[in-house]
Structure 1
Amino acid sequence: MKKLVYITIIILSMGMLQQCRVLNIKDKPEAKTMVVASRQVDCYGVGKQKCFLYKEEGEKAWQYLYQDIQGLKYEPGYEYILKVRQESIANPPADAPSIRYVLERIVSKEKKNSLID
């Protein structure tokens, strides 16, 4: 009986370790290009705040970004094209994003007034 319990524990432990390895493979950071508008707008997340407006490569509609882009020193009045990396956040709070954006490089920074529909 003890052997059966030990074998069961070993098999379950190996399964859990394998699952941890699989999760790490899936969480590779994903790089993307985005356009960030020349001004921030009022938006509502947990409360009223300022949000970036952004478009991913090839999109026409602006979307709200409710968080900062790590590494970006944003200056209003400039439209940015950025290469950013999306990283998963392990165990985020219920009201927080599950991904963060990290600046890899500024592709362009142009003084202009973004046309926001």
Structure 2
Amino acid sequence: MNYLIRLVSVCLLLLISACDKNDLEPETITMRVAEQYKDCTGVGPQKCLWVKMEDNPTWTLHYSGIEGFAYEEGFEYTLTVKRERVENPPMDGSSIRYILVKVVEKTKK
């Protein structure tokens, strides 16, 4: 009986530790936004922001918007944004939401 209780306890601990809670935790990151939109294709042809995130050194297309950010072409931006997971995203939507915290720099290009 004692052996069974220990075995069940170990199994429960393994299950609990396997749950990664950090993937739902919001984080604040720095993002650079280029001075022009780029052509991209989502559901159809559209214009995307061209961004570089602090954790990725390459420029990438950013399909979803940044809540609270009013982009103006011709300016390069350095932003502080909060990146958080969307719990139940729509089938055709992003599973990550970006929310503007602060415009750190806005430079005319």
Task: Give the TM-score normalised by structure 1.
Answer: 0.71
Alignment correspondent of 2:91? 94
SS at match of 2:25: coil
Unaligned stretches of 5+ residues in structure 1 = 1-18, 113-117
Alignment correspondent of 2:68? 71
1:37 counterpart = 2:43: no
Q: Could you say if the C-alpha distance between residues 58 and 26 of structure 1 is closer, same or farther in structure 2, counting changes exceeding 3 Å?
A: closer
State the identity as a percent.
Answer: 45
**How many residues are aligned here?**
93
Q: What do the CA deviations read for 1:3-26 (whole angstroms, capped 9, x no partner)?
A: xxxxxxxxxxxxxxxx8xx78765
Alignment correspondent of 1:55? 52
After superposition, the CA RMSD in angstroms is 2.1
Alignment correspondent of 1:27? 24
Task: Give the TM-score normalised by structure 2.
Answer: 0.76
Q: 1:99 is aligned with what amino acid? A: I
Aligned with residue 104 of structure 2, among 102, 107, 114 = 107
SS at match of 2:101: strand
CA distance in 2, matches of 1:64, 1:24: 28
